[in-house]
Structure 1
Amino acid sequence: MVHGTELYAPAWRANARTAKEAAQDIETTVFSLYPEWSLVQTQTYDFGEYRAFTAPSMFGQDVLEFLVKDESVNNRNWEGDREGPFVTYRSLAGSVKYVWPIQQPLSDFGAQKTRLQELRDKLGWPIIGCELIECYEY
């Protein structure tokens, strides 16, 4: 059974001035941590930047997507509000394997979540809204 916390991915706040700089930081950091990943799509929009990577996984190639927007969440009257690009992301399994006969999907044992956590740690980017201690235990 998949729990809600396993599907939830809180947005990040980039330590860059623009979405373009943040997207470049993602690319540089991805290739320093994971040289086997491939950058398969880049797109520039009026509101920001999009990057898609493929990554080898237990069952094929996973797809990791990042949408970086030139917007700040700084209007909550919260002590942690600050400027910086808004980063959303998702990781999609390239293939899903099932256990026969019950059709239960096999787990990747948290590999997708671990990769994203390692990437965020290396970037040094905080989770948006996590000025409270419980967010650091995410």
Structure 2
Amino acid sequence: MAEHKAQELTATPRTATQWTLLGFGLWFTVGNFVSGTVIWPGTVTDSHRVYQMDLFGFIPVVVNGWHLLFHLVTGIACLLLARRSTGAVLGSLGVAGSYLLVGGLGLAVSGSVLGVIATDTFGDWVHLFEGSGVALGAIAPLLARRRTAAS
């Protein structure tokens, strides 16, 4: 039974959207794990305490437990939704929308997004780029397919 399931998983070709969502899912969950256990171990148990460091000595990074939870939830969602092509497209659009919203709100309010997610200006821009990357992973293959069908 398990062998049949493994053959079924490897026999189905993955779309570019699925690979993109899988990549971002790994980025979000692994980054969350490293941040929450190695760099700032207290963020997991104390979600309201704000942690700050200078990445490479000059890039200010501000996080709290809610920030890491946001990355963990979206990362797990990406990993689960990347399994099927339709789930990957819908998941990409949902996750992209979340990151674009959080990044945009972070730039607009400066400090705490939705009253709980601690961010900084650099992090807000990173969230906007991550959201744009996930969105492109969903939209680019659809546009390419549309262009191929039109020719």
TM-score normalised by structure 1 residue count: 0.32
| Structure with higher helix content | 2
Larger-gyration structure (1/2): 2
Higher strand share: 1
Query: Under a length normalisation based on structure 2, what TM-score does the superposition of the two structures give?
Result: 0.30
